[in-house]
Each structure stands twice: as C-alpha cells, then as structure tokens.
Amino acid sequence: MPIYEYECGSCGHRFEAIQKMSDPVLTDCPTCGKSELKKLLSAAGFQLKGTGWYATDFKGGSQKQEKSESGGTPPKKKAGGCGGGTCGCAH
C-alpha cells in the first residue's frame, strides 16, 4: 500500500499515512483537529505485506551471501577480463 505524507496548514504537524489509492484524502489534523491538511508531494513509498515474491525472494537475501562467505566452495570469479595473470596487468 502507498505511504502518503501530510502536513497541517494550521499547526505544522507532519505525518505519514498508509492508505489505499482509492481511500479519500485525509482532511482533519490528528494533533489540532482542524481541517487544514495538505497531501505533500514526496518520494514514493510503499509497504509490502504478507507472503509472496518479496518475502520468498528478497527479504532474506543476505542469508545466501553469508553461506558463501562462511565456508564451503569459494566464490566464483567474475567473467571477462584478462583471465589469469598472463597478460601483465595488475588485477
């Protein structure tokens, strides 16, 4: 769900609200109660919930890296380049 940023024109209170895109724009300030909220233009933000591609493919991405660093097979070298030290360049 998108995260929207609001600011009150009366008291200056700024906050974020997680809302569906179909939800109405907030108008009442939670701090002073006046109807002077403005939705701010800010960087896009969203929250991923539940199980799915994020939780299964990306959320634990550092675990794969830790396994290769802790032992076992050495990490693969990058493809390309001179390939071995016979060319005379400083790798």
- If one compares 87 and 47, the residue with the highest pLDDT of the two is 47
**Average pLDDT, stretch 64-82?**
51
Residue 24 lies inside a defined structural domain of this protein: yes
Q: pLDDT digits over 28-64, tens only?
A: 999 999 999 999 987 776 777 767 776 666 666 555 4
**Could you tell me the residue range of the domain that residue 9 belongs to?**
3-39
Instruction: Please state the pTM of the whole predicted model.
Output: 0.49
Angle at 33 between CA 42 and CA 19, to 5 degrees: 40
Q: What is the pLDDT of residue 1?
A: 80
Of residues 75 and 31, the one with the higher pLDDT is 31
Total domains present in the chain: 1
**Residue 17 domain-assigned (yes or no):** yes
In a domain, 28, yes or no: yes
